[in-house]
Amino acid sequence: MRRKVTIVGAGNVGATTAHWLAQKGLADIVLVDIVEGVPQGKALDLMQALPVEKSDVSVIGANDYSDTSDSDIAVITAGFPRKPGMSRDDLVRMNAEIVGEATREIVRHSPACILIVVTNPLDAMCEVARRVSDFPRERVLGMAGVLDSARFSTFVAKELGVSVNNVHAFVLGGHGDQMVPLPRYSTVAGIPITELLDKATIDRLVDRTAKGGGEIVNLLKSGSAYYAPARSISEMVDSILNDKHQILPCAAYLQGEYGIRDLFVGVPCQLGAIGLEKIIEIKLTPEEQAALQKSAEAVEALVKSLPQEVSQKA
């Protein structure tokens, strides 16, 4: 019996995630969205591409959760983007309501699933999903670090003129301006980039990585990134469904690791069939630890702004 993945939100990120998962033949997919016809149309279009891919997975679209029962993984991408004039608190409140409702429905139909949260502000929305689902921390994860690391790898490879296959980038912390790229642990064919690039260049690449999403938004004028986020989601799904034990940077609920407690923060995570198998703690310099703590404080501020009602369980 094939595995099953539910994707909540049939926008660009959700639909492209379905595309990557179906192309790789990882699981049957249910694409859920409140807009009638959109998930059904995108699912049908994708299904008609699969004979060319020689993939036999099923992709269906739905406007409710009845077809999502017994999903192994549920990916939540639904939510509002931040628009001009919208405060951070407005975005948190609106998306907390969406993520909370999606989580309740997912838990009702798939109580044993693993949740992967993508909706922004990512770290706070992970906390919404954790509170509402009451799942153990192994089964609630956030996708951000895979994406941020991929962006950092892209910029390093372009700067050095090398294959991206040679680059392994390392990013910790919250998703956004408070992320903490770690040049000491970022390598090219095993060589730390600190030995290949000067500090000014590294600082420039780190800054571009932190602002990577905004750069794409400014270029598109309308909309935001979706190819790289969707591929990053599929990497996490692949590691979990195939019990690969890959170490990937993900938002995880920390319980004292890195000196941080009761917050979702991006750290190296080993992912397998149970979801989060292990958090990898690496030694940080005082400067790196301070940057990570500052990132955690930004996450904490977002969590404190969550509406009280999100603590109501499924």
CB atoms within 10 A of CB 280: 11
Query: What single letter denotes the amino acid at residue 19?
Result: H
- Maximum distance among all alpha carbons in the chain? 55
Q: Report the C-alpha gap between 175 and 230 in whole angstroms.
A: 15
* Entry field: residues in the chain: 314
One of 19, 109, 168, 175 is an active-site residue; which one?
A: 175
Active-site residue, 109 included: no
Residue whose tokens read 């703690």:
281
- The one-character DSSP state at 183 is G
* Sequential DSSP letters for 54-88: T----EEEESSSGGGTT-SEEEE---PPP-TT--H
Q: Can you read off the two tokens belonging to residue 94?
A: 């609106």
Q: Report the C-alpha gap between 247 and 199 in whole angstroms.
A: 27
The bridge status of strand 275-279 relative to strand 261-272 is: antiparallel
Residues annotated as catalytic (active site), given as ranges: 175
